[in-house]
Amino acid sequence: MNATSLPLSDTSINSAQILNLELWKIEINIANNAFIHGQHMQAFNHYETALELAKTGVSELLNTANATHLLLEAERQIAALVVTHHNLADLFRQASQFENTVAHLCDAHETLFQLSHHKQADMRELAQRHLKVTYQELITFTQRYGRHLRVQQSLMLTQYICECCREKAGH
């Protein structure tokens, strides 16, 4: 059975998320250290593990019926996801693998776009705050390396959010 389909209590989700973040911190620190020391394959492997942990944490939040009391954990899980995608993008940028760089920058932005349509207003606001960071990363990439189709498509999502929010405010 898929772990995301198991009915979990809010307490067990909170405990699992805290453990998940602790494991993420270990992986991200090992990866950052490897990156600094030029051990790029080791850094990549640990960043990938950290990314899976971050994705799991965000996925659990999306599947939580009432995440309002978990906003601090949600903030941390979302930040972990964004940081990991951006670290992987930096790793690939340094290796001149721009398609992989773009993939990670856009994946972070597009995941936040999905979260910005969460059924709970607090989660939407949280995602929209983090979208500002991913949006700026995409703009910076475009300024440095020129236009890229996927980057432009991801940036258009942000415009959609603004229109969507305006429509909701007008009703």
Task: State how far the alpha carbon of 119 is from the alpha carbons of 8, 56, 60, 114, 125, in Å.
Answer: 19, 19, 14, 11, 11
Q: In the predicted model, what is the mean pLDDT of the chain?
A: 84
For residue 59, give every residue at least 6 positions away whose Cβ sits within 8 Å of its Cβ, in sequence order, or none.
4
Instruction: Give residue 162's pLDDT band: very low, low, confident or very high (50, 70, 90).
Output: low
Q: What is the pLDDT of residue 171?
A: 39
Taking residues 78-95, report their average pLDDT. 97
* Per-residue pLDDT at 158: 78
**Domains of the chain by range and CATH?**
8-170 (1.25.40)
Distance CA 127, CA 119 (A): 12
The proportion of the chain whose per-residue pLDDT surpasses 90, expressed as a percent, equals 59
- Whole-model pTM? 0.83
Residue 157 CB partners (closer than 8 Å, separation 6+): 109, 110, 113
Q: Which of the residue ranges 8-12, 91-95, 121-125, 157-161 has the most confident prediction, judged by mean pLDDT?
A: 91-95
pLDDT digit string (tens) for 32-53? 999 999 999 999 999 999 999 9
